Amino acid sequence: MSQKPFLLAAEGVNKSFDGFKAIRDLNFYLEKGELRTVIGPNGAGKTTFLDLITGRTQPDTGKIEFEGTHDLGSMSEHEIYRLGIGRKFQTPTVYTDHTVAENLVLSLAGSRGVFASLFFKLNSEQKDKMEEILKTINLTAHRDRKAGTLAHGQKQWLEIGMLLAQDAKLLLVDEPAAGMTDEETARTGELLLSLAGKHTIVVIEHDMVFVRQISLGRKVTVLHQGSVLCEGPVDSVQADPRVIEVYLGRKHAR
Ligand code: ADP
Ligand code: MG
């Protein structure tokens, strides 16, 4: 492994499905506090990469290390979750019949189970944390609303709030802007930017306006056919002829 203490380091990772190489010789390094955006055409292996990090699927070869010591490739999904790796799927998975506040309590209560969590009494530190999270995700005024009645964007923010309540050390966010209005998208960008530094976040995204908003001054990774095609500041990535060829050019031509 490399010298630097990366929060996440994937080296030489390969993963095939029925002979099809979804991930090939992938190397990916993430420092603590980074907000990293990963872009790439459909089928590039972005979601599979998240599946490998979260233990939903295992690498055929290669290594994925977390905090320099944990070998994620040999751990179960539950063990990885307990290490502090949280994932937000594209469609929100909040408890629709519970209020915003209750959803956060469920996450703050950890692995107690839904029933026990509803009777869980927060201590004052947890109460403060809940208020802070509500403020961060812009839902303080909506705390007593059933999550099912929230707008699409608000549900996504609640889910990000639930990752914060879990104390996730690494937040994996798959296409957060999908289905959002422009205003919701911009607000989501602000939310992620406010978390950067304090948290480490990987965002997969297609919307280039949004990508630019959250990645100015940061590193963007382009995946193509299961490998890193290029990596760097958003301006140089967008100007890279290889990226234009396989991704941006095609997209704009549509
Ligand atoms: P992306 O998220 O970048 O669009 P994916 O990671 O979803 O790409 O998919 C990469 C490739 O791997 C695709 O060709 C997809 O069909 C294939 N793939 C992903 N998961 C599976 C699976 N469980 N079984 C078979 N093929 C899969
Ligand atoms: Mg995907």
Per residue in 206-224, pLDDT tens? 899 999 999 999 999 999 9
Q: Ligand 1 centre from 127 Cα, in Å?
A: 41
Pocket-testing residue among 26, 48, 89, 172, ligand 1, by greatest number of atoms within 8 A of Cβ: 48
pLDDT at position 36, please?
98
Whole-prediction pTM: 0.91
> What is the total count of domains within the chain?
2
Query: Which atom belonging to ligand 1 lies closest to the Cα atom of 40?
Result: 3
Given pLDDT bands bounded at 50, 70 and 90, which one contains residue 192? Answer: very high
Residues 156 and 193 in one domain: no
Of 110-114, 170-174, 191-195, 241-245, the least confident: 110-114
Contacts of 190 (CB under 8 A, 6+ apart): none
pLDDT at 112 over 60: no
Asked whether residue 79 is domain-assigned, the answer is yes
Question: Does 140 contact ligand 1 (Cβ within 6 A)?
Answer: no
Of 15-24, 117-126, 165-174, the least confident: 117-126
Residues 19 and 66 in one domain: yes
Domain range enclosing 129: 94-167
Q: Is the dihedral of CA 91, 206, 185, 50 positive or negative?
A: positive
pLDDT at position 254, please?
43
Residue range 69-76: mean pLDDT, rounded:
95
Residues 191 and 225 in one domain: yes
Residues 60 and 114 in one domain: no
pLDDT at 32 over 70: yes
Nearest CA to ligand 1 atom 17: 22
Question: Does 89 contact ligand 1 (Cβ within 6 A)?
Answer: no
Q: Domain containing 32 — which CATH number?
A: 3.40.50.300
Q: Ligand 1 centre from 221 Cα, in Å?
A: 18
| Placement of tokens 């959250």 in the chain | 214
Buried/exposed 59-75: b ≥16 CB within 10 Å, e otherwise: beebebbbeeebebbeb
